[in-house]
Amino acid sequence: MRLRGSAGARRLWRRIALFMAILGPGVITANVDNDAGGITTYSQAGARYGFATLWLFIPLALAVIVVQEMANRMGVVSGKGLSDLIRERFGVKWTFYLMLGLLVTNFGNILAEFAGIAAAGEIFGVPRLISVPLAALFVWFIVVRATYRTVEKVFLVAVIFYVSYILAGVLSRPAGGEVLQALTVPRFIPESHYVIMLVALIGTTIAPWMQFYQQAAVVEKNVRVDDYALSRLDTILGGVSVSVVAAFIVIVCAINLHGRGVQIESAGDAARALAPVAGRYAGGLFAFGLLNASMFAASILPLSTAYTICEGFGWESGVDKDFAAAPQFYVLFTALMATGAGLILLPGISLIAVMYWSQVLNGFALPIVLVFMLMLINDRGIMGRHANSMWMNVVTIVLAAALSALGLAAAGLAVFGR
Amino acid sequence: MSTSQSFAFRYVSELLGRRLVDAEGRTIGRVQDLVASTAERFPVVRGFVIKLADGERRFLPVKGADLRRRKGRGPLRIDDPRLEPLQLESNEFLIRTLLLDKQIVDVQGAKVERVNDVHLLVTDRARIVHVDVGFQGFLRRLGVEGEVRRLAHALRVPLKEQLIGWQYVQPLGVQQEPGKPIRLTVRLAEMGRLHPGELADILEDLSKDERNSIVRSLGPEAVADVLEEAEEDVQAAVISQLEPSVAADILEEMDPGEAADILTSLPEAHSEEIIAEVEPDERAQLEQLIEYEEKTAAALMTPEFVAIAPEATAREALEEVRRLAPEIESIYYAYVLDGQRKLMGVTTLRSLLVAAPERPVEEIMETRLVSVRPEADLREVAEVFQKYSFLGCPVLDADGRMMGVVLIKHAVDDLLPCFRREARG
């Protein structure tokens, strides 16, 4: 179909069509991070502090955009994944230890996602012995049997389901003026737990695996350097949408749970607590959102981990190859899924502890990954004229330092402060 | 110590990072890279890139160092060290920079591999004979090869060496000079020996720059052959990353139906840039094909076929087939068209060959015709192929004029699901 009209309108239409073709990596990566762990943290923030953490979400969106933009730019310009570049530039030893660390960190995240599936299932009355294996099989089949393009479409649909949180927010009828003020005017509560909460919110929104995933996805998409502006728009859209959804989760919990003395330890708790107060629909939407987010992240994380490690070690990888061509890839992917789902089924395992420790690991791993990224993106042999400019370096180094400090602080507080 | 030994094998990883000392044992610097020359079939190591104590890089000719001596990680002695400024000749390359940790094409195995180590044969000179892409090379670089090997031996797990002979190695290191198209740093002739289908698989595994440099060095005709063998997303990936004029050259060499398929799979803004660069006569044809809806006979068909006038003789018809054969995919059917390009009949190559040379084709052609309309869907086309076991099926417009042929070899991927459904139903 071609649209008739002025040349300007036609050009605009074509830009939109091109954007729709490029859209994906940025939006998907950012939104996957509204996973079980993230939703839990946002729920806790809203229930405990009301609107008092909302102001954080605008700077947070900016931070997501700056970090993910670097990964995105490296993918488009070099046409190579992040672990590819690390291997080629830093050699076997650095790659090996980094991949080992990433494997452990990502495995923690995978466990957290299956914990989220178990929690969401239980709200709907499905025991985890049924929901978790079923979800794992479903995800495994989708990823192994489908092409990258189909998988990406499924993921984009999953992103749309995050609207359920916005719906739940609207159903809670927030006062517009109050929310707007809370979003724009920073507030500070001099209380150590409030600081921990801020740190946890940041730690859960930017995780190391995101940079590896987005760079790999943008490479797979074959975005041209000429079209980079549109690809950056995808990243910006991702950063903005992830923060909007997160802010709505905080708003829902703030309106319905704040000041009622409800103890929220998991996202499941939040959904259960919401049902009697905010009505069945808001609670149901909340639980559905959690299920969707956990499934979404549970399919991306093992896949991304398997890709990243195979790439770094020089093993064949990719869902379009069969087992004989890429045995390490399939063994890794399947093992991560199976052990992740299996461990969650062990009786007596604490889902909250699992989610919590996975975020601690993220906090430790993030600064290391950021240092590698900064070194690579300043390498003109790789990036040419797309290397970071002076002011971009200043912005990113300050941001990386702040994120690292906060990430480490979150990890430290998690270890000693609890 | 065995200086009398006539040859030895060494790995590049054993040399990198080694301290170099002169005859008096004074440190000169550390080995950062090795310079090799492609003047001979197996590149000869010409010297070391040395990092001096002050961080400067210098070239040190390999003469005077006996690489055959096995001394573990200890310092390497050079008797008469003469440092020179580091400057590469056009036929020289840096072994570590070009090969170590980088991807290469294994031309024999038709695979992309990552290099863990480089294997040298040292006689009076050192030559690159293999690259190591195996797990053992990886362990060696990690510094745990010996430990793991002992462990594997104790557990009776065989550890295999994976070495690829240099003659089968195509390095993918890319040179990017401002204003010039990117090209491979080291080019070997072997790439051309790969089957187009194998090359297509390899292109899929490469990064953008590597892919583009190979595409450029192969030339548009060879790339067109490769792309016809490739999956749809690889086709789109290769074409979309090329400059529009280069992409257009390749598409011109391809079957127009396939070329149109690739262009339809690209975003409109890109495909229009490329079409603008295509030669005018082929451009009109491509634009027409793109207009057709996907998954119809019109989209699957190729507009190129052998057309013959009814009064032509069998000999003339064969001459026409011979003339068109280099450009046209399918020559097994010749279609007999009247003055208005309406399809009158069809004849096979076989019946043209067995007919008396001066017989007009009108008399030998088959007039019971099977054809489809351009808007026919996949199912209809599949039915025709299944029922009549043709290799090609003509596509006629509403007035019976011939527009093109759906060839089963082009359509098979799209039609396969229909065949299966038929078989089951």
Rounded Cα distance, B415 and B395, in Å: 16
pLDDT digits (tens, 9 = 90+) for B214-273: 888 788 888 888 888 888 777 888 888 888 888 888 888 888 888 888 888 887 778 888
Note whether B267 contacts A222, CB cutoff 8 Å.
no
* Residue of chain B whose Cα is closest to the Cα of A91: B101
Option in B113, B237, B268 nearest A314 (CB) = B113
Q: Would you say residue A20 has pLDDT above 50? A: yes
Note whether A149 contacts B116, CB cutoff 8 Å.
no
Option in B116, B141, B269 nearest A14 (CB) = B269
Q: In this predicted model, which residue has the larger pLDDT, B164 or A358?
A: B164
Option in A22, A92, A384 nearest B142 (CB) = A92
Q: Would you say residue B293 has pLDDT above 80? A: no
pLDDT digits (tens, 9 = 90+) for A359-399: 777 777 888 888 899 989 888 877 878 888 888 888 888 87
pLDDT at B425: 37
pLDDT at A96: 92
**CA-CA-CA-CA dihedral for B183, B184, B186, B190, to nearest 10:** -110
Contact list in B for residue A22 (CB cut-off 8 A) is: 267
Answer whether A149 touches B (CB < 8 Å).
yes
Q: Express as a percent the part of chain B with pLDDT over 90.
A: 2
pLDDT digits (tens, 9 = 90+) for A341-354: 888 888 777 766 77
Q: What is the mean pLDDT of residues B408-416?
A: 70
Burial group, residue B104, by CB count within 10 angstroms (0-12, 13-18, 19+) = buried
Q: Would you say residue B100 has pLDDT above 80? A: yes
- Pair A292, A34: CB distance under 8 Å: no
Contact list in B for residue A222 (CB cut-off 8 A) is: 208, 236-237, 240-241
Give me Rg for the CA atoms of chain B. 30
Chain A, 19 to 48: residues with Cβ < 8 Å from chain B are 21-22
* pLDDT-wise least confident of A143-157, A325-339, B277-291, B365-379: A143-157
Report the CATH superfamily, name and number, of domain B194-291.
Answer: MgtE N-terminal domain-like (1.25.60.10)
* Angle made by CA atoms B141, B143, B145, in degrees to the nearest 5: 90
Q: What is the mean pLDDT of residues A322-335?
A: 86
* Residue of chain B whose Cα is closest to the Cα of A11: B269
pLDDT at B188: 67
Note whether A87 contacts B208, CB cutoff 8 Å.
no
* Residue of chain A whose Cα is closest to the Cα of B212: A79
Contact list in A for residue B202 (CB cut-off 8 A) is: none
pLDDT confidence tier of residue A2, bands split at 50, 70 and 90: very low
Option in A79, A91, A147 nearest B207 (CB) = A79
Note whether A314 contacts B236, CB cutoff 8 Å.
no
Note whether A313 contacts B138, CB cutoff 8 Å.
yes
**Angle, in degrees to the nearest 10, between helices A208-221 and A82-123:** 110
Pairing of strands B19-21, B76-77: parallel
Question: What are the extents of the domains in chain B?
Answer: 1-183, 194-291, 306-424
Contact list in A for residue B210 (CB cut-off 8 A) is: 79
pLDDT confidence tier of residue A236, bands split at 50, 70 and 90: very high
Beta-ladder partners of A386: none
pLDDT confidence tier of residue A5, bands split at 50, 70 and 90: low
pLDDT confidence tier of residue A3, bands split at 50, 70 and 90: very low
Note whether B101 contacts A92, CB cutoff 8 Å.
yes
Note whether B101 contacts A224, CB cutoff 8 Å.
no
CATH topology of domain B1-183: SH3 type barrels. (2.30.30)
CATH topology of domain B306-424: CBS-domain (3.10.580)
Note whether B270 contacts A147, CB cutoff 8 Å.
no
* pLDDT-wise least confident of A190-199, A300-309, B271-280: A190-199
pLDDT digits (tens, 9 = 90+) for B11-36: 888 888 888 888 888 888 888 899 98
Q: Would you say residue A144 has pLDDT above 80? A: no
Answer whether A321 touches B (CB < 8 Å).
no
CATH for the stretch A30-415: 1.20.1740.10
pLDDT at B2: 46
* Residue of chain B whose Cα is closest to the Cα of A314: B114
* Residue of chain A whose Cα is closest to the Cα of B242: A224
Contact list in A for residue B211 (CB cut-off 8 A) is: 79
pLDDT digits (tens, 9 = 90+) for A183-209: 888 887 777 777 777 877 877 788 888
Helix, strand, coil share (%) of chain B residues, nearest 5: 40, 25, 35
Answer whether A219 touches B (CB < 8 Å).
yes
Contact list in A for residue B237 (CB cut-off 8 A) is: 222
pLDDT digits (tens, 9 = 90+) for B324-334: 888 887 788 88
* Residue of chain B whose Cα is closest to the Cα of A77: B208
pLDDT mean across residues, chain A: 81
Option in A148, A222, A314 nearest B114 (CB) = A314
pLDDT digits (tens, 9 = 90+) for A33-75: 788 778 888 888 888 888 888 898 998 888 889 889 999 999 9
**CA-CA-CA-CA dihedral for A268, A271, A275, A277, to nearest 10:** 120
Contact list in A for residue B269 (CB cut-off 8 A) is: 14-15, 17-18
Give me Rg for the CA atoms of chain A. 21
- A309: left (phi > 0), else alpha (psi -120 to 50), else beta? alpha
Contact list in B for residue A219 (CB cut-off 8 A) is: 207
For chain A, give the longest Cα–Cα distance: 66
pLDDT digits (tens, 9 = 90+) for B353-406: 898 889 998 888 888 888 888 888 777 888 888 777 777 888 888 888 888 888
Q: Which amino acid is at B410?
A: H
Rounded Cα distance, B240 and B263, in Å: 9
Rounded Cα distance, A267 and B381, in Å: 54
How many A-B residue pairs are in contact by the CB < 8 A criterion? 64
- Pair B31, B76: CB distance under 8 Å: yes
Question: What are the extents of the domains in chain A?
Answer: 30-415
Using DSSP, state whether B225 is helix, strand or coil: helix
pLDDT at B118: 92
pLDDT at A72: 92
Answer whether A83 touches B (CB < 8 Å).
no
* Residue of chain B whose Cα is closest to the Cα of A14: B269
* Residue of chain B whose Cα is closest to the Cα of A222: B237
pLDDT at A74: 92
Note whether B138 contacts A384, CB cutoff 8 Å.
no
Q: Would you say residue A400 has pLDDT above 80? A: no
Q: What is the mean pLDDT of residues B180-207?
A: 75
Q: Express as a percent the part of chain B with pLDDT over 70.
A: 91
Listed in sequence order, the DSSP H helices in B59-144 are 95-98, 135-142
Q: In this predicted model, which residue has the larger pLDDT, A255 or A8?
A: A255
Note whether A18 contacts B176, CB cutoff 8 Å.
no
Contact list in B for residue A229 (CB cut-off 8 A) is: none
Contact list in B for residue A82 (CB cut-off 8 A) is: none
Interface of B with A (CB under 8 A): 100-103, 111, 113-116, 133, 138, 141-143, 176, 207-211, 233, 236-237, 240-241, 267-270
